[in-house]
Amino acid sequence: MPLHCRVAIVILALLASLNASAHAILTESTPKLNGSVSAGHQALALKYNSKIDQGRSRLVLIAADKSETPLAITAHADKPNELDSAADLKPGTYVIRWQALALDGHITRGDLPFTVTAAP
């Protein structure tokens, strides 16, 4: 393989790895993916591998009947990798649809399904 082709491959690989590392990846959440929480007022927290623009990111709670409720995000300067919110939840199945804007401008999206059980 000619040298210029090898150099081009190395440059493309480096660019691809830089681009991939720029995306905010969900690393931890409350509730957990496919987990369960008790009914009532619940804190919701989504943690990412990079800093998030908390003011431009979005969280939407989707109930089993497909109704959607935008969730207010509580900004925390000491938790730049998190999107925090809270909701009053009744028993049933839900999805948190999230959209996170990393500080470098890349947007990632995902769904976090979970179940709410009756309070003990």
Distance CA 17, CA 29 (A): 25
Q: Is residue 10 part of a domain?
A: no
pLDDT on residue 84: 97
Domain that holds residue 76: 21-117
Query: Quick check: is 12 in a domain?
Result: no
Q: Where are the beta strands (DSSP E) in 1-120?
A: 26-30, 36-38, 40-48, 58-63, 68-71, 82-89, 92-101, 107-117
Domain assignment present for residue 113? The answer is: yes
Task: Encode pLDDT of 5-42 as tens digits.
Answer: 554 444 444 444 444 456 899 999 999 999 999 999 99
Q: Are 31 and 114 in contact (CB under 8 A)?
A: yes
The 10s digit of each residue's pLDDT in 63-114 is 999 999 999 999 888 999 999 999 999 999 999 999 999 988 999 999 999 9
CATH (domain of 53): 2.60.40.1220
In a domain, 2, yes or no: no
Please report the pLDDT score of residue 11 as a whole number. Answer: 42
Does 77 reside within a domain? yes
Q: What is the reported pLDDT for 4?
A: 56
Name beta bridge partners: 113: 95
14 is a domain residue: no
Domain-embedded: residue 5? no
- The label of the residue with tokens 């919701």 reads 44
* Residue 58 scores a pLDDT above 70: yes
Give the residue from 114, 110, 102 showing the smallest Cα distance to 57.
Answer: 102
Residue with tokens 């969730």: 71
What integer pLDDT is reported at residue 13 of this predicted model? 47
**Is 1 a member of any domain?**
no
Q: How many domains does the chain have?
A: 1
Cβ atoms 86, 41 nearer than 8 A: yes
First-to-final CA distance of the chain:
67
